[in-house]
Structure 1
Amino acid sequence: MSTQDTSKAIPLAFAHEQSPVRLLELPPSLVSLIENSTFKGSSPILKIKASTPIPTDGSAAPNHPPPFAVLTTATETFSIRSVHSSNSIFILKPAMIPTLSSSQEDQDSDTEMSDFKIPSPLKPGVLVTSTCASHLELIPSKPDTELLLHSLLTEYISPAHTLQRLSEAPTKTQLVKDTPVSDAEFTQGWIDASCFEIDGHAVRLTPASCLQLFKTIINIMYAVAGSESQWRNEGIGMDEVMDAIKEDGELDEWPTDALRAVVRGSWELKKDLDGSLGYSFNAPHAARWVGKHVLIANPDKSFTESEFLNVWKDNVSADCADLLDLKILDGFYTQSALGVVRYVHGSAAAEASSSAASSKKKKWHEKFAAGKKR
């Protein structure tokens, strides 16, 4: 007979048919977003999207396999990962549980089971409705939306080149829905990849076309508005930029949205005190944008440092020439010990830089041996 006091025990029972449940562990930033939004009376929009592996061109290789799905907020993306545990998690709900009275316990322990059953009293307890041996974990992710759109979209070279199978290209709305990134990250990636729509289908400008259009647009702005006007200092609206381009007429054959895509990427967006948005030509921003596109336009080319700087200088405006420094292109290139510059995108550049730095460090036993020789 048990000597434990069972008067304060909570009865526990397992349901014969358990409901399938997957628990989702939320990171602190997402919990805060939900709580603050609920307090303000508006719930955040959360989306679960299938993950699309990013095809690489050999310049960047993912360290980890892509997740099967991601969860996005308006501004952030989280990879969803299944985590298995040796300890099961029970999902409980209150229930009245049949229990044995003291007399029944004595009878069961001292005598054989009788042919008749005494009704068991009910006691408040908990019922296990589901057992979870794994749960879902959200991991903050920084997807390279620009590289993803580069791999998904057809290149637009020029009005003289016919686009093949344009009707099969997705719309921008479809891309926003299907691309596994947040809406804010998609918007920035759309700008960075110089994307636009033509006949309702999404395409992207080739890097070489971007450089060509950039030089022409800047020359037009200098010719129409001069060097010390509002377009360089305070910023002007996109429509004013497009009016100047239209007045010049040199780029009339190009789609207007293609020209807008170049301005959005190479100019700096400014917000005025009245809340209106304008674009200003910021020389450091433009220099970095041009340098990046020179590298992307030559993904397989090995430049000497001086050769690359000359090509870079040829594609920027005169007031950017003194700003050209490889340091402003960190993340888009690697440079060998011999000074050879090659394009490489994103995390691969960081890994290459880290590897180069670590190779310069001597191992502890090499330092020890060098010390002994002194």
Structure 2
Amino acid sequence: MSTQDDSKAIPLAFAHEQTPVRLLELPPSLLSLIENSTFQSSAPVLKIKAPPKPIDNGPNTTPTGPTPFAVLTTATETYNIRSVHSSNSIFILKPVPIPIIPDQDDADSDTEMVDDPVITSKPGMIVTSTCASHLELLPSKPNTELLLQSALTEYKSFESPPDRPSEPLSKSQILLNTPVSDAEFHEGWRDVTAFEIDNWALRLSPSTALQIFEVLISLVLSRGQAEEIDKDEMGMHFFNQLVEQDGDLEYPPDTIRAVIRGAFESKKTEDGSMVYSYDTPYTTKWVGKHILLSNPNKSFTEREFMEAWRSKAPDECEKFVDLKLLEGLHTRSVLGVIRYIHSTDSEGGAAPANKKKNKWHEKFAAGKKR
């Protein structure tokens, strides 16, 4: 006779055909975004993206380009997707009534065996899916500028523009294939001085961008000598007029607009239009950065670089010239030699390593190594 009280037990069964399920663990920031959207009129747009496959340069060579990896993006953030395997499976349960057949051992031994016992049902759970792994989202800060530098063809001169490919990629296509959020993409697009010509996405070479910038500053100063202008309230229409009246700047209009958006600090006015100014630390940093980018393999003495920086920067920016503005973009030796840093981190960083996640299997693995 069984002495176990099954009256309080919950029956559990496994479905013969398991439903494929992939669980996704949400970080707190993303969970909060989704939960808060329930009180808003529109839900957040989430995208899963991956870059193109690395370019195969032939046998005995290493493929170039970013390593393919999937990311999930919101409007402003990027998360790397990582598959996490566990020795403990996760069961997906569904409440269903489960048939219960009476145990013949519980019947009286003197009672005749029942050929057709009464089958009843009892509320229970059925396992519809078994997950031995799940997907984890790790916050990432991708190097969008480096990704776009490798994805976009460089435009050096209007006299000898690059050959147009048979199937050029537009800005929208580049955005679709770049594993970053929309906000990070548009920031990187501005930082690499990118533009479009007939739906072909390109980027200006640093030296060409610097040359166009110097011409724009000279035009602004020439206009300032002839009439009073507010250098903090210069809109795109103002620059278009300058270029049209001058007539010597033969670069495509989109390249000029790209330099204005990249080199000049922007501000949105009350009517929603954008105005640009250049007597700021932002513009000063842009000039110093493009001097380094124009000479990526050159070793400057500190004096030589600072003189070049001051000569290229507008007079109003000279007070802001300081190597602290270029932190992370250059190295300086004990002898005062300055070189541009060739960044190789195209995928950006995930969560900081010092933030330990409370995963039991990671703690167990760490304990075994001791």
TM-score by length of 2: 0.84
The aligned residue for residue 223 of structure 1 is 222
The aligned residue for residue 354 of structure 1 is none
The aligned residue for residue 290 of structure 2 is 293
Q: Tell me by how many angstroms 1:266 deviates.
A: 0.8
Query: Any conservation in 1 of the 2:209–2:259 contact (CA below 8 Å)?
Result: yes
Say which of 215, 236, 239 aligns to 1:238.
236
Q: Judge which range, 145-154 or 277-286, deviates more.
A: 277-286
CA distance in 2, matches of 1:347, 1:309: 26
The aligned residue for residue 78 of structure 1 is 79
Task: Say if 1:9 and 1:160 are closer, same or farther in 2 by CA, change over 3 A.
Answer: same
Task: Say if 1:189 and 1:53 are closer, same or farther in 2 by CA, change over 3 A.
Answer: farther
CA distance in 2, matches of 1:346, 1:42: 38
Say which of 236, 260, 264 aligns to 1:263.
260
Amino acid at match of 1:184: A
Amino acid at match of 2:328: G
Q: Tell me by how many angstroms 1:5 deviates.
A: 2.1
Q: Tell me by how many angstroms 1:255 deviates.
A: 0.5
Query: Any conservation in 1 of the 2:193–2:258 contact (CA below 8 Å)?
Result: yes
CA distance in 1, matches of 2:83, 2:273: 45
The aligned residue for residue 25 of structure 2 is 25
Amino acid at match of 2:309: W
Amino acid at match of 1:100: I
The aligned residue for residue 3 of structure 1 is 3
SS in 1 for 2:300: coil
Q: Tell me by how many angstroms 1:244 deviates.
A: 1.1
SS in 1 for 2:131: strand
SS in 2 for 1:40: coil
Task: Say if 1:283 and 1:117 are closer, same or farther in 2 by CA, change over 3 A.
Answer: same
What runs of 5+ residues in structure 1 fail to find an aligned partner?
56-64, 352-374
Q: Tell me by how many angstroms 1:116 deviates.
A: 4.9
Amino acid at match of 2:38: T
The aligned residue for residue 132 of structure 1 is 131
Amino acid at match of 2:98: I
The aligned residue for residue 199 of structure 1 is 198
Q: Tell me by how many angstroms 1:135 deviates.
A: 0.4
Q: Please give the residue correspondences for 1:329-368 in structure 2 after superposition, counting only pairs within 5 Å.
A: 329-344=326-341
Give the share of equivalent positions with the same residue, in percent.
55
Q: Tell me by how many angstroms 1:81 deviates.
A: 0.5
The aligned residue for residue 97 of structure 2 is 96
CA distance in 2, matches of 1:323, 1:167: 45
Q: Tell me by how many angstroms 1:23 deviates.
A: 0.3
Query: Any conservation in 2 of the 1:54–1:151 contact (CA below 8 Å)?
Result: no
CA distance in 2, matches of 1:51, 1:115: 67
Amino acid at match of 1:25: E
Q: Tell me by how many angstroms 1:169 deviates.
A: 2.9
Number of positions where the alignment pairs a residue of Structure 1 with one of Structure 2 = 335
CA distance in 2, matches of 1:154, 1:179: 15
Q: Judge which range, 2-11 or 177-186, deviates more.
A: 2-11
Task: Say if 1:70 and 1:27 are closer, same or farther in 2 by CA, change over 3 A.
Answer: same
CA distance in 2, matches of 1:311, 1:52: 39
Deviation digits for residues 301-346 of structure 1 (CA, Å, limit 9, x no counterpart): 1111111112222221222223211110011111122222111156
Query: Any conservation in 1 of the 2:2–2:106 contact (CA below 8 Å)?
Result: no
Query: Any conservation in 1 of the 2:305–2:338 contact (CA below 8 Å)?
Result: yes
SS in 2 for 1:295: helix
The aligned residue for residue 13 of structure 1 is 13
The aligned residue for residue 144 of structure 2 is 145
Task: Say if 1:110 and 1:42 are closer, same or farther in 2 by CA, change over 3 A.
Answer: farther
Query: Any conservation in 1 of the 2:54–2:68 contact (CA below 8 Å)?
Result: no
Query: Any conservation in 2 of the 1:283–1:320 contact (CA below 8 Å)?
Result: yes
CA distance in 1, matches of 2:34, 2:325: 38
CA distance in 1, matches of 2:14, 2:106: 24
Task: Say if 1:100 and 1:67 are closer, same or farther in 2 by CA, change over 3 A.
Answer: farther
Task: Say if 1:40 and 1:215 are closer, same or farther in 2 by CA, change over 3 A.
Answer: same
1:120 is the counterpart of 2:119: yes
SS in 2 for 1:265: helix
CA distance in 2, matches of 1:54, 1:344: 23
CA distance in 2, matches of 1:84, 1:227: 70
Compare the two structures and name the one with the higher helix fraction.
Answer: 1
Amino acid at match of 2:85: H
TM-score by length of 1: 0.83
Amino acid at match of 1:162: P
CA distance in 1, matches of 2:141, 2:266: 23
Q: Please give the residue correspondences for 1:275-286 in structure 2 after superposition, counting only pairs within 5 Å.
A: 275-286=272-283
Q: Tell me by how many angstroms 1:151 deviates.
A: 0.6
CA distance in 2, matches of 1:20, 1:52: 27
Q: Tell me by how many angstroms 1:195 deviates.
A: 0.2
Query: Any conservation in 2 of the 1:50–1:180 contact (CA below 8 Å)?
Result: yes
